[in-house]
Amino acid sequence: MDQGKNPQSSTVLELSEVTRAYGKETVLRGVSMSVQPGDFYVVTGPPSSGKSVLLRLVLGLEEANSGSIVIHGNDVSSQGPQSRNIGYVPQSFALFPNKTVRDNITYPMRLDKADKQTVQETLDRVCELLTIGDLLDKRPDQLSGGQKQRVAIARGLAKQTDFFVLDDPLVGLDFKLRERLIDDLKRTRSALGVTFLYSTSDTLESLLLASRVGILANGLVVEEGDLAQVYDTPEAAESMRSLGFPESNFLEGSISAGRCSTPLGDFGVSQQGAEGQVLVGLRPEHILVGETVEGNLSVPAKVLFTEDVGGSEILYLDIDGTPLSTVLGADHPALEQLQSGSTTLSIAPESFVLFDPKTLTRIAQGVRRG
Amino acid sequence: MADVRLDSISKYFGDFAAVRPTSTTFAEGTVTVLLGPSGCGKTTIMRMIVGLEKPTTGKVYFGDEDVTKLPTKKRKIGMVFQYPVIYKGTSVAKNLELPLVAAKMPDADRKKRVGEIAEIIGISSLLDTNVDRLDNAGRQKVAVAREVARQPEVLLFDEPITNVDLTSKLELKRALKTLFTELQQTIIYVTHDQTEAMSLADNIALMSAGRIVQFESPRAIYNNPDDVFAGWFLGSPGMNFLQNCFVVEGSSLVSPLLAENLPVSQQAQHAVTMAIRPEQVQASLTEQPGFVQANVKNKAITIGGRFLLDLSVQDITFKAVVDHGIGKEAASSMWVRLPERSLHLFDAKERKIESGLGSGSR
């Protein structure tokens, strides 16, 4: 697989204990994270968790109160944006209305006094990647929404550098357009062999784009790692919540004498000695519908509503007042039998992930009866 | 209650065809969703049904009655818009009752109907609440309930759940689904959101560039699109459209994507595009009969934890949605099968070809 990595190059970006407060309001409480060459690194987390602030600190548009920001081995914490040489695709795209697409894209390079040949080569490359070569002589008001967005992304990417910051560039775009731009962005990163640091609070966008993720919550990166690893073994409850569509189910549980009881039933716990209240996470896709499996919890459920999302159906269920969601492939045989409004769920004990209710970090998972 | 019939209606703004000549029927007691991207003409069709836009040609019928020249207020319709229309400063119950009072409905009947509708849409406990205290989703429920309570012949919804947050969106969608199931009213619903359309519609009228390109149940369109647009627009991601990767030799479809040649109809000679939905590509980590080897170019996670893979066979690239376990383990290459029954062929005009594929196998 093409990960575009160059084994000889060093860490692209390293943040250590970075803080940022506005007056009494602390937004970042000590963020540490590292971005490696060729990463499509997605910073995600709830809205207003400080993602944009984090990116502005990396870009040098704001200064951190404390901590260090190191780019390609150089501590740039106290340097301005110019010395950092980062390409930037901002959230809102202001194109110059009176300039052609060509001039819009090349303007920042000409400001940087790039030579003519470099400008032309860079222009050709980004235009090919974003398929906007036939728009070069048009003005923004002659473009569709999607075309404008691609031009704006092209302008951000038309820079002689190997590190780009993209601040939620697809927010508010319609579904089909986003689908296309997600492909464009991945292909572009890989073709240029560069590194992307990207922010979004959209779950599906994070999952579709990221090679690595950093989960920002309560002013901290609570977890970072390869996408599939964080998805499969989240160490923080927020990671489990932020990564996954439909969103994971969270239940209250309590551990006593090595067993955890929840509204869905009780099961053994992997960690000896854990006691008391826990937050229990359960991914929708780990809930089986219309099957019985030996050793699984068997739970009768009421079907409230099904939502057809094309290739899959999301089921919204009620278990004696506890809401639960699950997801099935659109061709799943159980869907035929749901008209009656009730069904039986089967859940493997090891699908339950147990988090400390205070620190929201993982303490154990469910296990089968010994 | 009545059906709604469009007889060759069109709408031109100068040379621009917002709606090309269209004849269709929205059946009595069913939910039809007009679905399509912005600018496809769906809102213009709705505006002509409502009477806010005069058709350039053609007629609109409610049942047997030609309403083309009737002003909006004389058409027996109820409308719900993107932003809830409510009577501020009064209770939810008052909001629901006002049109019924104006129609001089007897008190007992009125109370009964308001109670029933409020129950179905889930606002019974809010009847005495001042509407000013409700959030957007709550207000929209009130607006819906009021229009429903009037029992118009036709109910029209124009993107009614676009302007609410995600949680409320789901709640409203659920309320509407319950309502639509219980009511069996003639409902026409405009949206650009395919999930809404797939979840709420009895039938989808899928629109593109001023035309209804397909009018069928959501599953029928999804599984068997009449043209390339329908296959692309529904689904996330939409179908893979593959060109220059197959030939039809006599009555056989031959492609490096297929382990064996497939029998096809005579019409298949005209095929220029072969298509398959990403989730219908079968995948295996080990070699299997009937499967071909594919390179894995890219991996991502999608709905329900499944993996969305970018694959290639020779220089043909396509997407596949596979189970989590397979996607996670997949390294640089794997094996795939494009099942015959999941393959679609389209001609140079992007229209479906009756390919005969899948007729012999299930």
Provide the token pair at A69. Answer: 């920001």
- Residue B330, domain CATH: 2.40.50.140
Say yes or no: B203 and B276 in one domain: no
* CB-based contact B301 A243, cutoff 8 Å: yes
* Candidates B204, B301, B326, B333, partner chain A, best to mutate (most A CBs within 10 A): B301
* CB-based contact A284 B304, cutoff 8 Å: yes
Question: Does residue B211 lie within any of the structural domains?
Answer: yes
Say yes or no: B282 and B222 in one domain: no
Question: Does residue B300 lie within any of the structural domains?
Answer: yes
> B3: part of which helix (H) or strand (E)?
none
> Which residues in A lie closer than 8 A to residue B301 (C-beta atoms)?
207-208, 227-228, 231, 243
* CB-based contact A309 B236, cutoff 8 Å: yes
Please state, in angstroms and as integers, the Cα–Cα distance from residue B146 to each residue in B110, B114, B164, following that order.
12, 8, 19
> Which residues in A lie closer than 8 A to residue B332 (C-beta atoms)?
1
Entry pTM? 0.91
Nearest to A252 by CA among A368, A367, A352, A359: A352
> Which residues in B lie closer than 8 A to residue A339 (C-beta atoms)?
none
CA angle, residues B259, B264, B270, in degrees to nearest 5: 110
**Banded model confidence at residue B360, pLDDT cuts 50, 70, 90:** low
Question: Does residue B165 lie within any of the structural domains?
Answer: yes
* Candidates A213, A309, A315, partner chain B, best to mutate (most B CBs within 10 A): A309
pLDDT at B139: 93
The share of chain A scoring above pLDDT 90, in percent, equals: 72
User: Is-cis flag, bond preceding A246, omega within 30?
Assistant: yes
Say yes or no: B201 and B259 in one domain: no
Nearest to B276 by CA among B289, B262, B286, B265: B262
Cβ atoms of B322 and B299 within 8 Å: the answer is no
Cβ atoms of A201 and A168 within 8 Å: the answer is yes
- Residue finishing a domain among B173, B208, B227: B227
pLDDT at B330: 96
pLDDT at B221: 97
Say yes or no: B194 and B308 in one domain: no
Provide the token pair at B160. Answer: 């009614």
Mean pLDDT of A37-50: 94
The share of chain B scoring above pLDDT 90, in percent, equals: 89
- Which residue intervals of chain A bear CATH 2.40.50.140? 249-367
Say yes or no: B211 and B244 in one domain: no
* Candidates A176, A190, A245, A248, partner chain B, best to mutate (most B CBs within 10 A): A176
Q: How far apart are CA A69 and CA B237, in angstroms?
A: 38
> Which residues in A lie closer than 8 A to residue B300 (C-beta atoms)?
186, 207-210, 227
> Which residues in A lie closer than 8 A to residue B177 (C-beta atoms)?
305
* CB-based contact B298 A186, cutoff 8 Å: yes
Question: Does residue B353 lie within any of the structural domains?
Answer: no
> Which residues in B lie closer than 8 A to residue A305 (C-beta atoms)?
173-174, 177-178
Question: Mind spelling out the 3-state secondary structure of B59-98?
Answer: EEEECCEECCCCCHHHCCEEEECCCCCCCCCCEHHHHHHH
* CB-based contact A174 B37, cutoff 8 Å: yes
Strands A163-167 and B154-158, by their bridges, are: unpaired
Q: How far apart are CA A264 and CA A282, in angstroms?
A: 11
Q: What is the dihedral of CA A220, A225, A231, A237, to 10 degrees?
A: -20
Mean pLDDT of B350-360: 87
ipTM: 0.91
Residue A131 has pLDDT above 90, yes or no: no
A231 → closest Cβ in B174, B195, B301: B301
Estimate the share of chain A in helix, then strand, then coil, as percent rounded to the nearest 5: 30, 35, 35
CATH 3.30.530.80 at A13-235, yes or no: no
* CB-based contact B301 A246, cutoff 8 Å: no
Residues A107-119 as b or e (16 or more Cβ within 10 Å = b)? eebeeeebeeeeb
Residue A1 has pLDDT above 70, yes or no: no
Question: Does residue B187 lie within any of the structural domains?
Answer: yes
Task: For domain A249-367, give the CATH number.
Answer: 2.40.50.140
Straight-line distance from the first to the last Cα atom of chain B, in angstroms, rounded to the nearest whole number:
42
pLDDT at B347: 97
- Residue finishing a domain among B175, B201, B227: B227
* CB-based contact A175 B308, cutoff 8 Å: no
Say yes or no: B58 and B173 in one domain: yes
CA angle, residues A130, A134, A135, in degrees to nearest 5: 80
Residue B18 has pLDDT above 70, yes or no: yes
- Residue B71, domain CATH: 3.40.50.300
Question: Does residue B361 lie within any of the structural domains?
Answer: no
pLDDT at A8: 47
- Which residue intervals of chain A bear CATH 3.40.50.300? 13-235
CA distance A5 to chain B (A): 14
Say yes or no: B285 and B172 in one domain: no
- Between helix A175-192 and helix A116-129 the angle, nearest 10°, is 130
Mean pLDDT of A347-356: 97
Of residues A25 and B38, the one with the higher pLDDT is A25
CA distance A107 to chain B (A): 31
Provide the domain limits for residue B328. Answer: 236-346
> Which residues in B lie closer than 8 A to residue A2 (C-beta atoms)?
297-298
Say yes or no: B72 and B207 in one domain: yes
Of residues A65 and A337, the one with the higher pLDDT is A65
Strand partners, A68: A16
A305 → closest Cβ in B177, B237, B305: B177
> B39: part of which helix (H) or strand (E)?
none
Say yes or no: B204 and B256 in one domain: no
B301 → closest Cβ in A190, A228, A329: A228
Residue B97 has pLDDT above 50, yes or no: yes
Residue B362 has pLDDT above 50, yes or no: no
Say yes or no: B219 and B321 in one domain: no
Phi/psi region, residue A94 (left: phi>0; alpha: psi -120 to 50; beta: rest), is beta
Provide the token pair at B40. Answer: 């496809």
Say yes or no: B24 and B147 in one domain: yes
Say yes or no: B195 and B248 in one domain: no
The number of folded domains in chain B is 2
Cβ atoms of A203 and A196 within 8 Å: the answer is no
Cβ atoms of B69 and B48 within 8 Å: the answer is no
> B33: part of which helix (H) or strand (E)?
strand B31-35
Residue A6 has pLDDT above 60, yes or no: no
Strand partners, A66: A19
